[in-house]
Chain A
Amino acid sequence: ETGVTQTPRHLVMGMTNKKSLKCEQHLGHNAMYWYKQSAKKPLELMFVYSLEERVENNSVPSRFSPECPNSSHLFLHLHTLQPEDSALYLCASSQDRDSADTQYFGPGTRLTVL
């Protein structure tokens, strides 16, 4: 399998649930990203990992907890979310964290919080 994959593609959860989003890249890249995309809003960068080290945390609430166990895998752990957290969550990777690097996106997880 090539590119960036994300699972699940769709997720419905209650506010008290705990769930995790998974991202895997098969491109040999060193940097991985989580973005949130809400309707009518630009992509919001949430977290950046470079060589498994978190290098940016964009003032994201603690109910979102990222994990990068190795350079190919990225998780976003979710707990006690709010309805306004419903959005498309996109994972991306790039060769390095240089802004000139092309970012390769996964298909996203459509999250609905009830």
Chain B
Amino acid sequence: SQKIEQNSEALNIQEGKTATLTCNYTNYSPAYLQWYRQDPGRGPVFLLLIRENEKEKRKERLKVTFDTTLKQSLFHITASQPADSATYLCALEKNSGYALNFGKGTSLLVTP
């Protein structure tokens, strides 16, 4: 069955450093991969989408890579700020071709 794995442990980093979050998947051949941010008690908010033929995508301080050989995506936040503290979710298309399966998410805490 399709499986998505994200770092289960919270990631604590100091303000100004680069945060790197990992998303690994098995039994998928996704054409797209999405990253979302979720704050406590709120719904997820879309951040970035990367396609299988794109190695890297950037948006302001965010960078996503997508390695279909390793079946892995890395999500980077450069010059991190305390306001970046949240849970970050990786999502892949279901085998049905529509709708998404989400990973459990990785909690990021950026301390001043």
Contact = CB atoms under 8 A, between A and B. Distances in A.
Contacts of B93: 99-100
B69 interface: no
Interface residues of A, number: 27
Interface stretch (B14-22, B75-83, B95-103): B95-103
Nearest to B30: A99
Contacts, number: 67
A42 B102 contact: yes
* Chain A residues touching B, majority SS: strand
A100 B104 contact: no
A90 B93 CA distance: 18
Interface string B35-69: 01000011111100101000000000000000000
Interface of B: 4, 30-32, 34, 36, 41-46, 49, 51, 89, 92-94, 96-105
Interface of A: 4, 31, 33, 40-43, 45, 48, 50, 55-56, 88, 90, 92, 97-100, 102-108, 110
26 contacts: A4-B43, A33-B99, A42-B101, A42-B103, A42-B104, A43-B44, A45-B94, A45-B100, A56-B96, A56-B98, A90-B43, A97-B99, A99-B30, A99-B92, A99-B93, A99-B94, A99-B97, A99-B98, A99-B99, A100-B32, A100-B49, A100-B93, A103-B44, A103-B100, A107-B41, A107-B43
